[in-house]
Structure 1
């Protein structure tokens, strides 16, 4: 972070949450500052081979084969970096040499740059609005993001900014964006899991599985903010049109996770309702192994049967004209 970046606000009050209902960008800052220090744990994010392989599979799954001869890109930018998961793991996989991480949340930029430094990577970070990227024209060879576009009020404006800061011939890759259909079943499954778990841990003998009421109340406020910060869902075709209008060429989309998302959302929601460390390593192996198995089924079976727009995540790539 630069010396002029604002400080993180790790705990939002009820009054701030109420104010954020009328200001989506304030909501983004409050929610993601709130989540920053626990984000990697909440989403099972790591910077080892497991997540390196996942990040690289996203990149390989949407970028044309002939692009691989360009690797590594010299300089990459991540928008909405969160804890740095996507870019840091892409750099470790050989996609880029060095990078800049940006987010509207000071807390997330702090964590992402700290993670990059701990890994020994050439990383700098800035608090930045994706609709007004604070870098000069023609600066980056690659711009990436994971689960960021659906948080941005004006997605097409942001994509125009991406095109501006890319060098001619540079590429963008965005992954982890919710489809309209996928978001519907994911939300319902997550809400159902939350309500059932909160009721179940009140039963006699299950008190050890219940978080303190103060934590539950704080998580409930965070969940209220999450409804506010998730601004969009996408159909693959509409996302392609936005990128094309923004000036990109060679635009393409791909979708992933169908049954894997139907498992993943209840699993992650359940994990967030019980005390940290309660589930143990065996649960982690079960959750990750099951997700990998269902992801394979989705990619090799359901992809040939289920419409593209029914999968949960959509990825998009495009190029700035030379």
Structure 2
């Protein structure tokens, strides 16, 4: 077996310049740079809060919570989805892959700290390095929008699934959801950074300029790695063309996203120590309550296309 490449968290200017012409290099550089702070940035944890979130999202898409004997997470990031599903007893044994060596390294380290049975490989989603008919389940969270050829990746997913095996991909942006999330995030970043710069009394609420510059460079590269947004109908059609059966897409988060994106952007623009536990609980509880409203009110009266997240499930033929 070939040795996986080492993480590269500090790309050179020349490498970054090349990444604007090579989307897969951009994926590696951006996510290697993000790997060490990704859990903190997105408030990812491996406790009851995120176990509940992951299992709820899985159940909403898949219609069940297993258990599944052996699952692969595609584009694993730091392992958020797979590891929390394992802790929620949806999955017994796990494998992870990601194009970013840094992300695979962090995911495996997180699994080790949690005492979970997980192996991993650095791999392209369009060429998964596992044999045919290996897994009972393939999962992914916020990964499909990073893959250049989604249909090719889904064909690979079906190849490595056992007959009758299932895939569940959650947390990718819809066309409409991505539009309002981006606009809200941009407006919040501009307001926060400019107000804290203009008012001396708020000077200690402004991140150091070098951190803001680094965040701006990361945001610029993020525009290269975010390749797709999705219409739920078209995503279902893509899965069917790849050969999946029993395909179904569901969406979630509208008011929760309208609240959540400005909050996340604000948190990225100010020193974390200024916010504290009280802010964190306010943000989380508000998001929870708005998620309930989305699921129990808006989902019953609004078309699925207006929600922020789309999840999709399907099966390999038996």
Task: Give me the TM-score of the superposition, normalised by structure 1.
Answer: 0.96
Partners of 1:14 and 1:281 lie apart in 2 by 37
Q: Give the corresponding residue for 2:30.
A: 31
Task: Please show how residues 72-91 of structure 1 align to structure 2 within 5 Å.
Answer: 72-91=67-86
Partners of 1:250 and 1:243 lie apart in 2 by 10
Q: Give the corresponding residue for 2:178.
A: 183
Residues 1:245 and 2:241 are matched in the alignment? yes
SS of the aligned residue for 1:60 comes to helix
Task: Please show how residues 310-321 of structure 1 align to structure 2 within 5 Å.
Answer: 310-321=306-317
Q: Deviations over 1:238-285 (max 9, x none)?
A: 000010011110000100000100111111111111123221001100
Report if aligned partners of 1:150, 1:232 keep a CA contact under 8 Å in 2: yes
Q: How large is the RMSD of aligned CA atoms in angstroms?
A: 1.1
Aligned length: 317
SS of the aligned residue for 2:167 comes to strand
Q: Give the corresponding residue for 1:4.
A: 3
Report if aligned partners of 1:90, 1:96 keep a CA contact under 8 Å in 2: yes
Partners of 2:13 and 2:211 lie apart in 1 by 14
Q: Give the corresponding residue for 2:209.
A: 213
* Cα separation, partners in 2 of 1:115 and 1:28, compared to 1, 3 Å: same
Partners of 2:206 and 2:12 lie apart in 1 by 23
Task: Give me the TM-score of the superposition, normalised by structure 2.
Answer: 0.98
- Residue 124 of structure 1 deviates from its aligned partner by 0.8
Partners of 2:12 and 2:259 lie apart in 1 by 32
Partners of 1:196 and 1:18 lie apart in 2 by 29
- The unaligned stretches of length 5 or more in structure 1 are none
Partners of 1:277 and 1:143 lie apart in 2 by 38
- The unaligned stretches of length 5 or more in structure 2 are none
Partners of 1:18 and 1:256 lie apart in 2 by 36
Task: Please show how residues 161-176 of structure 1 align to structure 2 within 5 Å.
Answer: 161-176=156-171
Report if aligned partners of 1:17, 1:221 keep a CA contact under 8 Å in 2: no
Partners of 1:206 and 1:19 lie apart in 2 by 38
- Which stretch shifts more, 8-17 or 33-42? 8-17
- Residue 213 of structure 1 deviates from its aligned partner by 1.3
Residues 1:46 and 2:41 are matched in the alignment? no
Residues 1:146 and 2:145 are matched in the alignment? no
Partners of 2:55 and 2:214 lie apart in 1 by 34
Q: Give the corresponding residue for 1:288.
A: 284
Partners of 2:276 and 2:18 lie apart in 1 by 38
Task: Please show how residues 89-100 of structure 1 align to structure 2 within 5 Å.
Answer: 89-100=84-95
* Cα separation, partners in 2 of 1:3 and 1:208, compared to 1, 3 Å: farther
SS of the aligned residue for 1:11 comes to coil
